[in-house]
Amino acid sequence: MIELYKTNAEVIAAGDKYLYGNHVRMPLSIERGEGAYVFDKDGNKYLDFIGGIAVNGLGHCHPAIKKCLEERANTILHCSNYFYNEPAVQTAKLIVENSCFDKVLFANSGAESNEGQIKLARKYAKDHGHPERFVVITMKNSFHGRTLATCTATGQYGVHRYFEPLPTGFRYAEFNNLDSVKAQMDEYVCAILTEPVQGEGGVRPASKEFLQGLRELCDEKGILLMFDEVQVGSGRTGKLFAHQNYGVEPDTCSMAKALGSGVPIGAVCARGEAAKTLTPGTHGSTFAGGPLACALAMTTLDVMINEGVIENSRVMGEYFREQMHAVIEKNHPKAVKEIRGLGLIDGIELNQPSGQPVVDLCFKDSKVLINNTAGNVLRFVPPLIVGKEEIDIVIKAVDDAMTKLGW
């Protein structure tokens, strides 16, 4: 029998001894969660506005998710893609019926979903008489994952560094700058890939003109427009897909993070000709689309779509930005460059080199979990079930932290 540790400090000490040190962790071992709150082993309660990095869309221990897991324990967890399973079918049906897409291909993570899109784009070009096309244009400061192809697709040197030689076939353009994308176009390009709202890149929503311009450019050249909605899909922006806020329809779109409420799952959604490209033998995965992950995805999407969670994300996002704006304007007008977001992915860009001091004070003084991304952008990606009460607590925590820092 394993003897479990008794305190937060013991878990952290053992973690530092045994876990590979590739992640920088806060000194908090999370024992359990409830709604928008998590608890450590010592019984401390934290308000969770990181939500497992935009994964826990329904919050922790949602009753529908608990029931779904119980059912799975008594039915089946895995059966392979030699067979059909109803949760996969129902999840795909929910996505198709609530989007512009015709088909859904499952994967196990965000990176893997984007790999799927990249492979799809290359084969699409070959299928359509353009064997010379293989380049995917992506954006600077994007984030598409950590596998070799997706880290190369990621437009950040810090993500490429140490891993050369990188796979060929990626070029980078300026986000929200159509001319910069056009400057990268030539006969070798098979697709354009972008996040409609850059997440890791500092919570930067695309402009409507930019996404519309990309759509027109892709139509004109006969290449694919692919969106990465790993972070901002699954209800995060107040719509099932972020691009639904823009009225721009991509050919393919990836999902992951919140789709499975914490169990790994990803998806490539595709429409039209792009929904016919990956034929048997060209792509697949042992685990992808299994009954466990798909039952959770089906339940997650059902609750999000049919119980007002996506709508709550839209309304609470507006409340968050309004209230945060008022407090910052009043108390810290010089500390902040911009407050921006869409639904419940929100960011505060600071006039400071780093947001980490605010993150640390929110944690220590207010027991509020937020994070800092792209150097100096405070990021808020809470469960989509949060109410005004929780938002008020977070705004006060940020306000108090900035006051203490003299910002």
Q: Give the nearer residue to ligand PLP in terms of CB position, either 57 or 110.
A: 110
Candidates 7-15, 109-117, 304-312, 319-327: pick the segment binding ligand PLP (CB under 6 A): 109-117
Regarding 383 and contact with ligand PLP (CB under 6 A), the answer is no
* Min dist. Cβ of residue 193 to ligand PLP (A): 10
Q: Give the nearer residue to ligand PLP in terms of CB position, either 142 or 376.
A: 142
Q: How far apart are CA 349 and CA 81, in angstroms?
A: 45
- Per CB under 6 A, contacts with ligand PLP among 134-163 are 143-145
Q: List the structure tokens of 380.
A: 């808020």
Torsion angles phi and psi, residue 110, rounded to 5: -65, -45
User: Strand, helix or coil at 386?
Assistant: coil
Instruction: Sketch the per residue contact string, 50 through 89, with ligand PLP: x for CB under 6 A, - otherwise.
Output: ----------------------------------------
Q: Give the nearer residue to ligand PLP in terms of CB position, either 122 or 204.
A: 204
For residue 21, CA distances in Å to 18, 248, 344 come to: 9, 41, 30
Q: Give the nearer residue to ligand PLP in terms of CB position, either 28 or 107.
A: 107
Regarding 347 and contact with ligand PLP (CB under 6 A), the answer is no
User: Strand, helix or coil at 123?
Assistant: helix
Q: Give the nearer residue to ligand PLP in terms of CB position, either 205 or 397.
A: 205
* Min dist. Cβ of residue 390 to ligand PLP (A): 23
Q: Give the nearer residue to ligand PLP in terms of CB position, either 213 or 260.
A: 260
Residue of 8, 85, 99, 109 that binds ligand PLP (CB under 6 A): 109
Q: List the structure tokens of 383.
A: 């469960």
- The dihedral built from the CA positions of residue 342, 106, 306 and 33, taken in this order, carries a sign that is negative
Q: How far apart are CA 141 and CA 161, in angstroms?
A: 14
Element of type H or E holding 45: strand 45-48
Q: How far apart are CA 100 and CA 89, in angstroms?
A: 17
DSSP string, 106-117: EESSHHHHHHHH
Instruction: Sketch the per residue contact string, 169 through 208, with ligand PLP: x for CB under 6 A, - otherwise.
Output: --------------------------x---xx--------
* Min dist. Cβ of residue 200 to ligand PLP (A): 6
Regarding 299 and contact with ligand PLP (CB under 6 A), the answer is no
- The dihedral built from the CA positions of residue 321, 324, 328 and 330, taken in this order, carries a sign that is positive
Q: Give the nearer residue to ligand PLP in terms of CB position, either 110 or 290.
A: 110
Q: Give the nearer residue to ligand PLP in terms of CB position, either 198 or 312.
A: 198
Phi-psi region of 30 (alpha: psi -120 to 50; beta: other; left: phi over 0): beta
Regarding 256 and contact with ligand PLP (CB under 6 A), the answer is yes
Pairing of strands 224-228, 189-194: parallel
Chain centroid to Cα 22, Å, comes to 20
- CB nearest ligand PLP: which residue? 110
- Residue 48, judged by CB atoms within 10 A of its CB (0-12, 13-18, 19+), counts as buried
The residues of the shown chain that bind ligand PLP, judged by CB under 6 A, are 109-111, 114, 143-145, 195, 199-200, 228, 230-231, 256-257
